[in-house]
Copies of this chain bind each other. A is one copy, B any other.
């Protein structure tokens, strides 16, 4: 098995996967244990998400950032599991909010068990996340993660309000994804140095690394939603379009578009005219104005900021693994 893997072309995510493997095994065991409950529906729904092939990128960031600061304790495992639970809870609630049918290529939990169970199991996982954080006992880590929790929800509400308005500017959009995606990446990478007792500069560097990585990651996702295939992305291509969710490619194409094109975008995003023909036309307009390429450029920019931040911490295998994650995130497009 290992031999076969080693002769495959290496992906940017391999070093962090290898580096964190022993700890991630314990993270995964803890996730399964904490998703357990006498209330049958809870482990069933949790397992559906947990086993659905997510990369566990966020908890790996927590483990690797702790290791990069020479951490030798046990707290990083619980914090990593907390971060993944926060993410899973967000996914469950997001699917309800977005009325999504698919999640990572599988039927979404809300389609199988209903919105009600998705809301409540999300709440349960969030409660379990906080329990694990409390067990670690670092008030600073608790502050970082509870701040992120409020910021994520705030970003989601903002997106809910802004999602259907083409007056959303690029700055607004970056603020939304900064809150709803990048805040958890930032927190995941910041709690590592915190429990390791690292210097303030290292802590700030890893926070910035996570924040900018999260922005790059989301922008690449936005591009993939118009350009990837359903198989490669694990969700329907065109989901954002059909849900009337305004992402950076649309903002750019709208800004660069003619009056007629703007009328099309308004009908689609604000008016709900999002059938397959409309999606095809949207893709053509994105192509005409280079909106996907422009978005990729932005992703590369934030990726570069992430790399620059990580490069400022003392050299180690863990630091190099973190640096390669940036390439992995960007390379998902190609």
Contact = CB atoms under 8 A, between A and B. Distances in A.
Interface of A: 37, 39-42, 93, 96-97, 115-117, 119-121, 123-124, 126-128, 130-131, 133-135, 137, 139, 142-143, 146-147, 149-154, 156-158, 160-161
Contacts of A154: 37, 39, 42, 124, 127
Nearest to A96: B119
A172 to B, nearest CB: 11
Given A97-B116, A117-B160, A127-B152, 14 more contacts: A39-B154, A41-B157, A42-B154, A42-B157, A119-B119, A121-B157, A126-B153, A127-B154, A130-B150, A131-B143, A131-B146, A131-B150, A134-B143, A137-B139
Nearest to A147: B131
Contacts of A97: 115-116, 119-120
Contacts of A115: 96-97, 115
A146 B127 contact: yes
A1 to B, nearest CB: 37
Contacts of A40: 161
B149 A130 contact: yes
Contacts of A137: 139
A309 B39 CA distance: 30
A156 B39 CA distance: 10
Nearest to A156: B120
Contact of A119 (B93, B124, B128, B150): B93
A37 to B, nearest CB: 6
Given A41-B157, A134-B146, A96 B124 contact: no
21 contacts: A37-B157, A39-B161, A41-B160, A93-B119, A96-B115, A96-B119, A97-B115, A120-B157, A121-B157, A124-B150, A126-B153, A127-B151, A127-B152, A130-B130, A131-B143, A131-B146, A134-B139, A134-B142, A134-B146, A137-B139, A142-B142
Contacts of A128: 150
